[in-house]
Amino acid sequence: MKHQPIGIFDSGLGGLTVVKAIQKELPQERLVYFGDTARIPYGTKSPDTIIRYSRQIIRFLLSREKVKAVVVACNTSSAWALDAMRKEFKVPILGVIEPGAYAAVEVTRNGRIGVIGTEGTIYSGAYLKEIHRLMPKAKVISKPCPLFVPLVEEGKLTGFVAEAVVVEYLKPLLKEKIDTLLLGCTHYPLLKKTIQKVSGKKVKIVDSADETARTLHRNLEAYGVELSGHGSGKYYVSDLSRKFKENAQRFLGRHINRVEKILIEKY
């Protein structure tokens, strides 16, 4: 068991932000990543479709790589598919919603928490539910920010356009005097600088990647899964576009040399 890798998946390459955090927390671990680049975005799709896609990816990770645990790095999949997947598969499955909510509740002082994510994630109410479970009196103000993903994919992370979009989406949350803003989407950490500039110093920005890595560390021990001892990464995608290298570099902070394209519908 201990030599088997941990599988991580996302709707695209954004989940590499979670890979980066896990590599830092568990440098000795073997990681296998799957990015569903052919079918991104998940954020606008229906729950049925998200569940079907997530199932195919977990089947692939289990049959091809015999993963010992799965991390659902995608917020939208974590919101809609996590419960169903935990019922269907025996392998431990960790999503990003619980760690993200935990991190936000730890940080807030006034109990007023802003949550932003894709339409799917926000309308699922998953973050709201989890934050209220941990802090029943919290005031949660949520908002989908559908233009953030294309902004990040285009590399528009700072500057006039990024700032105008961030102002537009965050205005109603800032008016509610939030002191914590939870970035509930794989792509949003890349906009952190602009989001912080617009929100001001008093608002603490929290993303789930680091807390997910810490939770994974704790849970692996709880599940009795030993660490593998030789860190390495393997990368799969469902489409290898012209922009792959540029985008992967943006999310992971370094180049990925070897990547394999998979026909995920087969699984």
Residue 40 within binding range of ligand DGL, rule CB under 6 A: yes
Residue 75 within binding range of ligand DGL, rule CB under 6 A: yes
How far are the Cα atoms of 13, 21, 62 from residue 46, in angstroms, in the given order?
A: 20, 29, 25
Between 10 and 29, name the residue whose CB sits nearer to ligand DGL: 10
How far are the Cα atoms of 73, 85, 153, 183 from residue 207, in angstroms, in the given order?
A: 12, 23, 18, 5
Residue 20 within binding range of ligand DGL, rule CB under 6 A: no
Measured CA to CA, the distance from residue 59 to residue 54 in angstroms comes to: 9
Q: How many Å is the maximal CA-CA distance in the chain?
A: 50
Beta strands 30-35 and 6-10 are parallel
Q: Which residue is nearest to ligand DGL (CB)?
A: 43
DSSP state of 15: T
What does the CA dihedral 21, 72, 119, 39 come to, rounded to 10 degrees? 110
Residue 95 within binding range of ligand DGL, rule CB under 6 A: no
Smallest distance from ligand DGL to CB 53, Å: 10
Residues 209-238 that bind ligand DGL (CB under 6 A): none
Residue 248 within binding range of ligand DGL, rule CB under 6 A: no
Out of 32, 69, 71, 74, the active site residue is 74
Q: Catalytic site residue 145?
A: no
Residue 124 within binding range of ligand DGL, rule CB under 6 A: no
Measured CA to CA, the distance from residue 121 to residue 68 in angstroms comes to: 26
Residues 182-201 that bind ligand DGL (CB under 6 A): 185-187
Residue 10 within binding range of ligand DGL, rule CB under 6 A: yes
Place of tokens 């608002």: 203
Out of 185, 195, 206, 216, the active site residue is 185
Smallest distance from ligand DGL to CB 3, Å: 29
Residues contributing to the site for ligand DGL (CB under 6 A)? 10-12, 14, 40-43, 74-76, 117-118, 121, 149, 185-187
Residues that are catalytic: 74, 185
